[in-house]
Structures are given as structure tokens and as C-alpha cells.
Structure 1
């Protein structure tokens, strides 16, 4: 590396570092609160970020916050691939795989259709539907990174993260009671919980609160939903390419680099060569990257913008969550 390049890198680092450090501090505070009070860490990160959003205005922190909300987010999405192995998916057989694919596709398509009926951009339906059907806040952030730029995209992303985090926490409490009331077997209860609750942490909490067998099956089904993130990201990237790049910018790639990283890590993880300690470290790093990124997104958002969304987006997300639960129960009744 030449001296000029080193100097440029050092200068760039000095510009970005204040915003990156502030985002990391907010993420650390959110993690502390989450561990001590039990609420979703993404929700705490958003709220704390909103509380200090003055840091994202013109000042020393702004470039680093912009960088964190964009690039650190993509690193976190790529690292999600280390959660997936082909062996985990194959262990349940072909039928659950087909059912997971069907419920993700149907939920997203219905969400897009309903969003358009309510007068929203179809991409908002893709964002909320993908977050509901796949893996909650992580999917919302990943899809937002792949979707075309839009003046309302950041506000829509934050609203979606808040919505899925709140609904996922509520589902973690209610869905085990529903499974018991319906008399579902441990395996069916695991499929119901893993196929409906948005975030991985809440799936694990709800599943193992019932039984070890339910927790195991719920976790594997949830990871199958996480694996659906890749094809949905590719679809979002294709939409972005079809809509064209913004003036003065390059045309986006068909497969974003973070999606390629997701695939590579999932493939390597499937070979079994990654030690468990490295897998755990990768999962933790992915979680930290996503929490830091959502902290930065919170700092970039004005609370008055979120307060002005109205009742329709709330009804859309609640309806998506209820639809997914009914769809999974119908699948269990008729086909599993």
C-alpha cells in the first residue's frame, strides 16, 4: 500500500471514528438494558438512538453515523450466514422446507398486495412482509440495504424494526399459550413457534420455555426462514436494478456483496470445518453489527417523522403477523 493510500485511509478513519464510536456506545447501552430488563435489544437501540439524534446533524459524528448505518449493517447481514447449515435444514425433511418456502412467499405476496390496497408503495409491503415472514428486524435491515433509495426508506425501515420487535415480544408470550391451548405436539408446537415469531431470540425463548424438543424444532425451522433471506434479497436487488441507479451513481450489482458473503459463510459452515467457538463468535459479531447499525439509524431519524406514520402501517403489520400465524396453523392442520 502506497504512502498516499495509507494517508487517505488514516484521514478517512479519523473522519468516521467519532460517529462509529457513538453508535457503538449506544449499542452497548442498549445491550445492557436488554439483558437487565428483558426487552428486545433492537428496540432499545432504536429508542436510545432516537434520544440522541442531534448527533447525526451537521457535526463531527455525522459521517461516521452514515457509514455505520450503511456499511456496518451490511457486514452484520453477511455474518448471518454463519447460522445456517444444510444439515440443519435436511434434518427436518423436504416437507417442512417446502412449507417454510410457501409461507414466506405467500406472506410477502399478500403483504405487497395489501400495502398497495392501503395506498402504500409496494416496496413498503415487501419490507414489512419480509421482516414478518423471515427474521424480523434483521430481515428488515437486510432488505432495506438492498432496496432502492427513497426519501421515506429510512423512516419505513425504522418503523418496521419497531413494529416487528414489539410484535415478536408479544408473540413470545402469547404463542406458547396458544400452542398449549390447541394441544399441539412438541414437534408441531416447535414448527408453529419457529414459523411465526419474527426474531430468533424470541423463538428460542418461547420454544425452550415449552420443552427441549419444541425448542430444538423451533430453532431449526426459524433458521430455515433465515435462509430465505438470500432469495428475497436477490429479488430486492433485481427490483433496484430495474428501477435504475440514482443520477451520478453506479448501477447496483445483481447480487450485493453482503448477500454473497451470506452464501459463502453458509456454505463453509455446512462443511463442518468452522469450530463451534468460531460460530458463536460470528453470531455475536453479527448481532453487535446489527445493533450498532440500528443505533445509527435511530440517530438519523426524527421522532416526529415516526409519529406521523398514521394507523394504516400499524394495521398492516399487525395483520401480517396474524395472517402468518393463521397460515402456519392451517399448514399444520392440513399438510404436516
Structure 2
């Protein structure tokens, strides 16, 4: 009975902040569906407008819960939209090319961070989000990396930056590839390999043709599929750096993500259930982003300076250049 009573007290303390985050998420979803702008960006901006509620006693605890626990649940459920069978058509050449592009981009992120005097945490956040799947990757990586006093604002900056760059790329890349005389398959591969967020990949790919859209979606899903691999590598590297391999413990949400991905890949999750889980993941992630927005002070974001922008723009240009070179010499198999 005591534990039940504690649970009720905890739920009561969390409810106002959770309700705030969910309400912001619902508003962001509505605006995104009616105006065609990225839902993550709406959630962030609306959340920031409610920053004054972050430290209030009634809402503070629930907002923190939404930005951490709900975030991890959303990442776990991301596994329900990934299946290894979807990427079989790319072949070994495409798989190796995409993996190589991701590894090179993350490595380049460390170089950029050093050049522009940013820390290694920021290098992993930006390099990983550009290389893998934008905002979702940034949130997942942030949950693995040991936090410091700059973590939250760096995460928010990364989410805003990759979402903005993805939207710009969705408009510019199809035109650019068309002028360059690339085939639909080549354009689709480049869009899937370089645009950060899934929604913008789909929009850019199918704006060219069905073939380009299908190729872009499969390549993008391949990048998303490699997210748990990157999370495991980062988690092991951080654990070794701090306490050695004897104390390595993978976060439970990483394990859950991997298990759900394998279950979906082997057909253990029925189609309707997978769709439901993916929808739930979307809501959880948008709710978490809304909560992070509430916890973000706009002045602190503005204090980050131009070097943050330079790092993520350089990583984006590097990925596009490298992917284009791979397509030009035939490494992508398209």
C-alpha cells in the first residue's frame, strides 16, 4: 500500500509538467500538418515560449520527466520502423558506402569541433545527427553521453540546426541534382544518404520521382538501422574512458531499441502493431522535444555563437561532397 501511495504522489507531481509537454506536442503536430513545416521545430519553438514554467514547482518535475524518461521510451519504439529486409536491395556496395559515409562524417565532426574550439560531446552530437538521422539521433546520443552544464543547450541547438538544414536541403537538393544531370536512382541515393531527417528525405525524394523516393527512403532507413550500432560504440567508448571495460553497462533504452529492431526485422511484430508503435514513438519524441524546449533559455542558446553553426554546416557540406563523390565513381551501386 505504501508503494501504491508513493506512485500516486509521484504521478500527481508529474502530471502538470507532462500535460504541458503533451499539449505543446499536440499544437506542434497540428501546425506541422496544416503548414508543412517540421514538427520538431514547432515543438522546440513553442516550448521555448513556455520557458518561464520550467522552474515552477507545479510543472518542473513533469517537464524533466518528459525530457528524459519519455525521450528514452520514444527512442526504444523507433526500432519498430526498422527492418533489415527493407535494405537488402541496396546490396553490399551500398551498405558499405553508407556505413563509410557515416563513419567519415562522425570523424570529421571531431576535426571540426577541434578547429572551432568545441568539445567532444558537441562533436558526437552534431556529427552523429548529421551522419545518421537528424533530431532523433541527437536525442539518442545525448542520452548516452555523460551530461554536463552545456548538454541541454547543445542538444537543442543540434535539433534546431539539423531540422533547419534538412528543410533547406529538401528544397535545394532535388533542383541541384537535376541541374547536375544525375539519374533518379543517383539522386535518390544522395538524398537518402545526406538529408538529415526522415520526413525531409521522403519529401525530397518523391518530389523527383517514385524511383528516387523509394531509393532515398531505403538508404535513409539503412542509416537509421545503424543508429543502435553507433550508440553501442559511443556507450562503450565513454564507459572505457571513464572507468574501463569492467564497468561497461549499456543503457537499457539502447538494449530495448536493438531488441525491438531485431523483432521487427524477423517479423515478430505484426504490421498494425508496428504502425502503432511508430506512431507512439513519434508522439513521445515530439513530447520530449517540447519539454526540452521548455527547459531551454533562449539567451543561453544565443550565447553559443557562430562556431556552433560553423561546425554543423561544415559537417553537412562534407557529407554531401563525400556522398556525391561516391556516386560519381560508382561506389554506391546506382
Aligning the two structures, in what range does the TM-score lie when normalised by the shorter sequence? Answer: over 0.9
- TM-score, normalized by length of structure 1? 0.95
1:284 and 2:279 matched: yes
By how many angstroms is 1:252 displaced?
A: 8.1
- Structure 2 distance, partners of 1:201, 1:125, is 24
Partner of 2:16: 18
Partner of 1:256: 251
Partner of 1:248: none
Partner of 2:212: 214
By how many angstroms is 1:243 displaced?
A: 4.9
- Structure 1 distance, partners of 2:136, 2:216, is 18
Partner of 1:194: 192
Return closer, same or farther for 1:163/1:319 CA change in 2, 3 Å cut-off.
same
Can you give the 5+ residue segments of structure 1 that lack an aligned partner in the other structure? 246-250
Alignment of 1:1-336 (within 5 A): 3-244=1-242, 254-334=249-329, 335-336=331-332
Return closer, same or farther for 1:21/1:252 CA change in 2, 3 Å cut-off.
farther
8 Å CA contact retained: 2:44, 2:290? yes
- Structure 2 distance, partners of 1:254, 1:40, is 35
- Structure 2 distance, partners of 1:300, 1:238, is 29
8 Å CA contact retained: 1:131, 1:137? yes
- Structure 1 distance, partners of 2:226, 2:249, is 17
8 Å CA contact retained: 2:240, 2:248? no
- Structure 2 distance, partners of 1:151, 1:231, is 27
By how many angstroms is 1:181 displaced?
A: 1.3
By how many angstroms is 1:120 displaced?
A: 0.9
- Structure 1 distance, partners of 2:217, 2:53, is 38
- Structure 1 distance, partners of 2:279, 2:209, is 25
- TM-score, normalized by length of structure 2? 0.95
- Structure 1 distance, partners of 2:123, 2:293, is 21
8 Å CA contact retained: 2:112, 2:314? no
By how many angstroms is 1:94 displaced?
A: 0.8
- Structure 1 distance, partners of 2:15, 2:242, is 32
8 Å CA contact retained: 1:176, 1:206? yes
- Structure 1 distance, partners of 2:184, 2:121, is 37
- Structure 1 distance, partners of 2:176, 2:273, is 37
- Structure 2 distance, partners of 1:285, 1:206, is 25
Can you give the 5+ residue segments of structure 2 that lack an aligned partner in the other structure? none
- Structure 2 distance, partners of 1:91, 1:322, is 27
- Structure 2 distance, partners of 1:252, 1:57, is 35
8 Å CA contact retained: 1:113, 1:122? no
- Secondary structure (helix, strand or coil) at the match of 1:218 reads helix
- Structure 2 distance, partners of 1:22, 1:231, is 34
